[in-house]
């Protein structure tokens, strides 16, 4: 395979960064179906395959359901696979999202975050991937285009270590179609970091024929030789252990990546001026990047604000979050998604993680950016000021703050 011709810093969109990462990872099968704003990822991969620059099977399937199915089947026979989708495309995959995880396949999928219909809206929020929270995938959120490239490469290493698929989530248009300088590593550095895919958990082999994914009873059951094999519940427990194990694997892989490439992304989450903060502003993705600008403004007013950017949403880094937030007065969580009838998913997960901790901050929630609603650093700063005022007035529980809502 030719060496990466554009190694070094180039200007590129988030989508091109994701495609370049898949190429650097030497993916063997890509299957995809077009949807805005994901399409440029697979258009680029398709072109590289056509031009002979990437030795890969590219399957232009007829639906997202089939896109993930092809990835599942190719991954089952041992190939390294990649796909990308957005919004209703991810929703259409839903059945196979669960299948990929239950089958314990190390698939990497870029989810270019976009709102869900109805009504139609092509712009960014994070409802699509947040709605797949419980499906058994690892979910990593990216703050900029460099992190998209580096995280997609890291995702293969993480997935292949714990045999759990990974969604690399990044904001539609805000990152997917925005050009930024991205440093593309040398192929040799990535090859050293990411060895070929290890043998799958279950092999497809004529000499040792298996019936893979067949009906499995709740209780353990003996095979023909009398050896007792796992029941459905044991398999689910092993899956849970693997995804919890990723809490150690994600930072370790980030450290290995730093060694190979020279960049670190902080593993489970990242912090900006959090050490002395009285208010922690929390979000996932590019919104967290935006919050660093908000913190500049708040700090100029003498408000000790800091940012905690969620990188790993699943597994949810409970212990690390408890430690990082201990002693803060207020945690204000900005969600670009909603669990209808309850509230923001990151906010409520954080509340559950901190429940009963004497040193935990008060957690307030804010809903923002649904359907691409523009939220400025000033809007975010206003929300922080309101949260602090409520806190100082003794408020410990309140309804979610819907930013810029005009009802």
Partner 1 sequence: MTKIVDLPEGEFVLSGNRACAGCSLGIGLRAITKALDGQMVMTVPASCLTVLGGMYPVSSVTVPWINVAFASTAAAATGVAAGLRAMGRADGLTVLAMAGDGGTGDIGIQALSGAAERNEDFIYLCYDNEAYMNTGTQRSSHTPRGARTTTTWAGKRENPKDMPAIMEAHGIPYVASTSAVYPDDVYDKVAKARGIRGLRYIQMSTACPPGWGFDPRDTVRLGKLAVQTGLTVLYEVQNGVFGLTSASRTLAQAGRRRPVAELIAAQGRFKGMSDEDVGEIQAWIDSRWERFMARESDPAGH
The contact set with partner 1 (CB under 8 A) reads 28-29, 31, 56-57, 59-63, 65-66, 69-79, 81, 95-96, 99, 204-206, 209-217, 221-224, 227, 229
The nearest distance, CB 220 to partner 1, in angstroms, is 9
The nearest distance, CB 2 to partner 1, in angstroms, is 18
Place of tokens 């993680």: 353
The nearest distance, CB 122 to partner 1, in angstroms, is 24
Residues 6+ apart with CB under 8 A from 107: 68, 71, 72, 75, 81, 82, 83, 100, 159, 165, 166
Closest to partner 1 by CB, 9 or 204:
204
In this structure, how many other beta carbons lie within 10 angstroms of the beta carbon of residue 359? 11
β-strand 362-367 against 401-402: which pairing, if any? parallel
Question: Rounded distance, CA 71 to CA 87, Å?
Answer: 19
The nearest distance, CB 402 to partner 1, in angstroms, is 38
Question: Rounded distance, CA 386 to CA 368, Å?
Answer: 15
Closest to partner 1 by CB, 226 or 356:
226
149, 21 Cβ separation under 8 angstroms: yes
Closest to partner 1 by CB, 81 or 287:
81
- 145-162 vs 232-261: helix axis angle to the nearest 10? 130
Closest to partner 1 by CB, 118 or 215:
215
Token output for 253: 């892989």
Question: Rounded distance, CA 166 to CA 183, Å?
Answer: 23
The nearest distance, CB 314 to partner 1, in angstroms, is 22
Closest to partner 1 by CB, 64 or 150:
64
Closest to partner 1 by CB, 212 or 405:
212
| Partner residues linked to 393 by β-bridges | none
| Partner residues linked to 85 by β-bridges | 111
The nearest distance, CB 48 to partner 1, in angstroms, is 15
């Amino acid at each position: 395979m030719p060496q990466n011709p554009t190694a070094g810093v180039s200007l590129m969109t988030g989508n091109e960064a994701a495609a370049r990462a898949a190429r650097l990872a030497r993916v063997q099968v890509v299957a995809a179906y077009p949807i805005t704003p994901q399409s440029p990822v697979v258009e680029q991969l398709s072109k590289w395959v056509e031009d002979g620059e990437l030795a890969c099977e590219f399957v232009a399937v007829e639906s997202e359901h089939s896109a993930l199915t092809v990835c599942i089947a190719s991954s089952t026979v041992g190939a390294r696979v990649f796909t990308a989708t957005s919004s209703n495309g991810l929703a259409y995959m839903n059945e196979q999202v669960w299948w990929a995880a239950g089958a314990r396949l190390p698939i990497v999928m870029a989810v270019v975050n976009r709102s869900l219909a109805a009504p139609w809206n092509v712009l960014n929020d994070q409802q699509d991937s947040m709605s797949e929270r419980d499906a058994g995938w690892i979910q990593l959120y990216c703050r900029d285009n460099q992190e998209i490239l580096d995280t997609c490469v890291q995702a293969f290493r993480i997935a292949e270590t714990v045999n759990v698929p990974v969604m690399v989530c990044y904001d539609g248009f805000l990152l997917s179609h925005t050009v930024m300088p991205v440093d593309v590593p040398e192929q040799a550095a990535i090859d050293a970091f990411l060895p070929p895919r290890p043998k799958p958990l279950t092999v497809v082999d004529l000499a040792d024929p298996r019936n893979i994914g067949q009906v499995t009873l709740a209780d353990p059951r003996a095979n023909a030789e009398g050896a007792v094999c796992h029941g459905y519940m044991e398999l689910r427990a092993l899956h849970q252990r693997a995804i919890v194990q990723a809490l150690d694997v994600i930072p370790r892989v980030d450290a290995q990546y730093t060694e190979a490439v020279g960049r670190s992304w902080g593993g489970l989450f990242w912090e900006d001026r959090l050490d002395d903060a009285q208010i922690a502003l929390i979000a996932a993705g590019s919104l967290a990047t935006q919050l660093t600008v908000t913190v500049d403004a708040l700090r100029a007013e003498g408000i000790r604000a800091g940012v905690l950017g969620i990188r790993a949403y699943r597994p949810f880094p409970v212990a690390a979050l408890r430690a990082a937030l201990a002693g803060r007065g207020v945690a204000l969580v900005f969600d670009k998604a909603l669990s209808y009838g309850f509230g923001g998913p990151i906010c409520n997960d954080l509340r559950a993680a901190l429940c009963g901790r004497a040193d935990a901050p008060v957690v307030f929630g804010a809903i923002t950016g649904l359907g691409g609603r523009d939220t400025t650093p000033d809007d975010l700063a206003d929300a922080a000021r309101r949260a602090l005022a409520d806190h100082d007035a003794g408020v410990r529980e309140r309804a979610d703050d819907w930013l810029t809502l005009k009802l």
